[in-house]
Amino acid sequence: MRISNVNSTNSQNFKAVNKKYFDWAKKDFSIRDNVSTDWLQRLSFDVFLFKEMSPKDGLDTVNAVKKYMNKTDEGLEHLLDRLKKAIR
């Protein structure tokens, strides 16, 4: 699965996609059809534990990556829910 450049997508406007996590997702997609558990865990830690990324930036990053996935799993959906609740 290939992930296109986020800037070239016109259907959705993502404000703050974290390049590190977006590139990591591209690497995961080159190996399998989903992001790794490490990817989900680390993004979650950077948002909620270490506060290195805002919940809004985390949500934008996950939504940008999710757009290129054929099917999402429970872990990704759970992280999306947590990020949405943190923004409210």
Predicted TM-score of the model (pTM): 0.81
The stretch 7-32 carries a mean pLDDT of 78
Q: SS3 sequence, 17-60?
A: CCHHHHHHHHHHHHHCCCCCHHHHHHHHHHHHHCCCCCHHHHHH
Q: Which residue has the tokens 């591209």?
A: 26
State yes or no: pLDDT of 8 exceeds 90: no
Give the span between the Cα atoms of 37 and 40, in whole angstroms. 5
Q: How confident is the model at residue 71 (pLDDT cuts 50, 70, 90)?
A: confident
